[in-house]
């Protein structure tokens, strides 16, 4: 199987990440009414999956080191399948929000494991000159998952009247995820194991065979030598060593990037998009799902731009310019809300924000996290950074509906715009942090990047 096909299979973890995350957007509008949820409970049901994501990410480093990247992805596929089936059951079994929450947490475990292992796996198989593009397939898959699920929920939502969607439609929206779940699980048995993980386990011959098939004999031999040198004889630093002087700054940089990705507000807009379009932006209920398809289409188009530009333009320029675009987009939304002039200009602001995120912080953060950590700390450091990301995602998803409905946000001054100005503040922080602390990783091998860190912080031991 060629490298692109391997990357696409691994990226199915991203597609299910996007699908599972997006399906809550299409369903929460209906199950919130079905279960008579208030703002806090709505935030809990939506955010409960994120607790699973956090737990899955926390243990993903252990799974990755012991089971390998490939087997960890197989585990995530199984968890996705159980979650997709079980999330629709509360409509048939005794009406229990708790049951829905349990299966959402199970799905979150799958997302957390996949979100660490899929980009890591792709990066470890890819050559430096196209590694950014290969890892961006993961973000592209997330975006495709969002787009496909919006189409699926829209189609299911058109089957019957609103009463059908309130009682049955939202369950079929959850069950539609079973199709990509089964496909992902089956395809994973066709891809090879990560050569870097195999070398960690002393399986140099198997790793060399895989690299020969993907990169050719000469490049494969050189890669094995570089990997063995960087691993210091196969030594993986234990978790407690992540706090050593030479390692901790790298972990902090990756974790801050992860946190700031979520503090842009992207997932608040994706999770609660239906509510935003109906209430804040003044669109009717009949337009809500159609607006979501438009949002997902823009997300897909501009992620495609990032796919073909990340290895040419570099990581830092895309992050900086994309952040500026996000600021402009949210300013458009914020000022139209403050001045009570909501409408097409507000929608354009949301779409500009989504487009700017899709070509910058969306894919670039995953690219950076998959390549910036040295071989002997990659699983542990990546796990920490992804835990931070999901923890911040959870905080934002819990607080967003509360802030939206707060008295402060709805006073005469803010008029519903406060959350968007809070997000703008954190996006400005992204620009400052990126310019000062984030290295440019374009065109460098994973082992070359390790040498850069050693020069800056000393030996990673």
List pLDDT tens digits, range 397-433: 778 888 988 899 888 898 889 999 999 999 999 999 9
Write down the pLDDT at residue 73. Answer: 95
Write down the pLDDT at residue 95. Answer: 57
Mean pLDDT of 247-262: 91
Write down the pLDDT at residue 326. Answer: 97
Residue 4 has pLDDT above 90, yes or no: no
Write down the pLDDT at residue 288. Answer: 60
pLDDT range class, residue 128, cuts 50, 70, 90: confident
Mean pLDDT of 145-152: 83
Best mean pLDDT range from 15-24, 67-76, 116-125: 67-76
Write down the pLDDT at residue 186. Answer: 94
Write down the pLDDT at residue 371. Answer: 84
Write down the pLDDT at residue 241. Answer: 66
Mean pLDDT of 111-127: 89
For 364-407, write each residue's pLDDT tens digit: 999 998 888 877 778 888 889 989 998 898 888 778 888 988 89
Residue 277 has pLDDT above 70, yes or no: no
What's this model's pTM, rounded to 2 decimal places?
0.79
Residue 461 has pLDDT above 80, yes or no: no
Residue 14 has pLDDT above 80, yes or no: yes
Domains belonging to the chain, first-starting first, are 3-191+236-457 (1.20.1250.20)
Task: Name the burial class of residue 95, with classes exposed (0-12), middle (13-18) and buried (19+) by CB atoms within 10 angstroms of its CB.
Answer: exposed
Percent of the chain with pLDDT over 90: 29
Residue 238 has pLDDT above 70, yes or no: no
Write down the pLDDT at residue 280. Answer: 57
Write down the pLDDT at residue 240. Answer: 66
Write the secondary structure of the chain as one string of H (helix), E (strand) and C (coil). CCHHHHHHHHHHHHHHHHHHHHHHHHHHHHHHHHCCCCHHHHHHHHHHHHHHHHHHHHHHHHHHHHHCHHHHHHHHHHHHHHHHHHHCHHHCCCCCHHHHHHHHHHHHHHHHHHHHHHHHHHHHHCCHHHHHHHHHHHHHHHHHHHHHHHHHHHHHHCCCCHHHHHHHHHHHHHHCCHHHHHHHHHHHCCCCCCHHHHHHCCCHHHHHHHHHHHHCHHHHHHHHHHHHHHCCCCCCCCHHHHHCCCCHHHHHHHHHHHHHHHHCCHHHHHHCHHHHHHHHCCCCHHHHHHHHHHHHHHHHHHHHHHHHHHHHHCHHHHHHHHHHHHHHHHHHHHHHHHCCCCCHHHHHHHHHHHHHHHCCHHHHHHHHHHHHCCHHHHHHHHHHHHHHHHHHHHHHHHHHHHHHCCCCCCCCCCCCCHHHHHHHHHHHHHHHHHHHHCCCCCCCCHHHHHHHHHHHHCCCC
Contact indicator for 86, 96 with CB cutoff of 8 Å: no
Across the chain, what does the average pLDDT equal? 84
More confident residue, 74 or 237: 74
Residue 292 has pLDDT above 80, yes or no: no
Write down the pLDDT at residue 81. Answer: 94
Write down the pLDDT at residue 458. Answer: 65
Write down the pLDDT at residue 74. Answer: 95
């Amino acid at each position: 199987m060629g490298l692109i096909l391997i990357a696409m299979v691994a990226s199915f973890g991203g597609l299910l990440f996007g699908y599972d995350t997006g399906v809550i957007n299409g369903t929460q509008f209906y199950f919130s009414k079905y279960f008579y949820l208030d703002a806090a409970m709505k935030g809990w049901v939506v955010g409960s999956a994120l607790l699973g994501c956090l737990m899955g990410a926390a243990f993903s480093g252990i799974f990755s080191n012991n089971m390998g990247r490939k087997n960890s992805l197989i585990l995530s596929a199984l968890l996705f399948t159980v979650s997709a089936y079980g999330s629709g059951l509360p409509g048939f079994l005794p009406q229990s929000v708790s049951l829905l929450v349990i299966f959402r947490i199970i799905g979150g475990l799958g997302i957390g494991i996949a979100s660490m292992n899929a980009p890591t796996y792709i990066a470890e198989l890819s050559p430096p000159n196209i590694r950014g593009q290969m890892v961006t397939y993961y973000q592209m898959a997330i975006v495709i998952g969002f787009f496909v699920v919006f189409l699926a929920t829209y189609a299911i939502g058109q089957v019957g009247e609103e009463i059908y969607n309130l009682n049955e439609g939202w369950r079929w929206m959850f069950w539609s995820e079973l199709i990509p779940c089964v496909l992902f699980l089956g395809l994973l048995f066709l891809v090879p194991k990560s050569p870097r993980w195999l070398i960690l386990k002393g399986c140099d011959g198997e790793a060399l065979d895989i690299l020969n098939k993907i990169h050719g004999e000469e490049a494969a031999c050189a890669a094995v030598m570089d990997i063995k040198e960087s691993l210091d004889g196969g030594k993986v630093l234990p978790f407690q060593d992540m706090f050593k002087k030479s390692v901790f700054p790298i972990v902090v940089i990756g974790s801050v990037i992860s946190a700031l990705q979520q503090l842009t507000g992207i997932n608040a807009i994706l999770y609660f998009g239906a509510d935003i379009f109906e209430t804040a932006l003044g669109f009717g209920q009949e337009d809500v799902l159609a607006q979501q398809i438009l949002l997902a289409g823009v997300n897909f188009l501009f992620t495609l731009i990032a796919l073909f530009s990340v290895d040419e333009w570099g990581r830092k320029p895309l992050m900086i310019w994309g952040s500026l675009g996000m600021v402009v987009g949210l300013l458009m939304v914020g000022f139209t809300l403050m001045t009570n002039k909501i409408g097409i200009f507000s929608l354009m602001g949301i779409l500009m924000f989504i487009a700017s995120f899709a070509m910058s912080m969306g894919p670039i953060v995953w690219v950076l996290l998959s390549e910036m950590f040295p071989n002997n700390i990659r699983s542990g450091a990546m796990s920490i950074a992804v835990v931070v990301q999901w923890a911040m995602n959870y905080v934002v998803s819990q607080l967003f509906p509360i802030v939206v409905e707060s008295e402060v946000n709805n006073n005469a001054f803010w008029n519903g715009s406060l959350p968007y100005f809070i997000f703008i503040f954190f996006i400005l922080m992204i620009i400052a942090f990126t310019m000062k602390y984030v290295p440019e990783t374009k065109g460098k091998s994973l082992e070359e990047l390790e040498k850069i860190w050693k020069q800056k912080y000393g030996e990673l031991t």
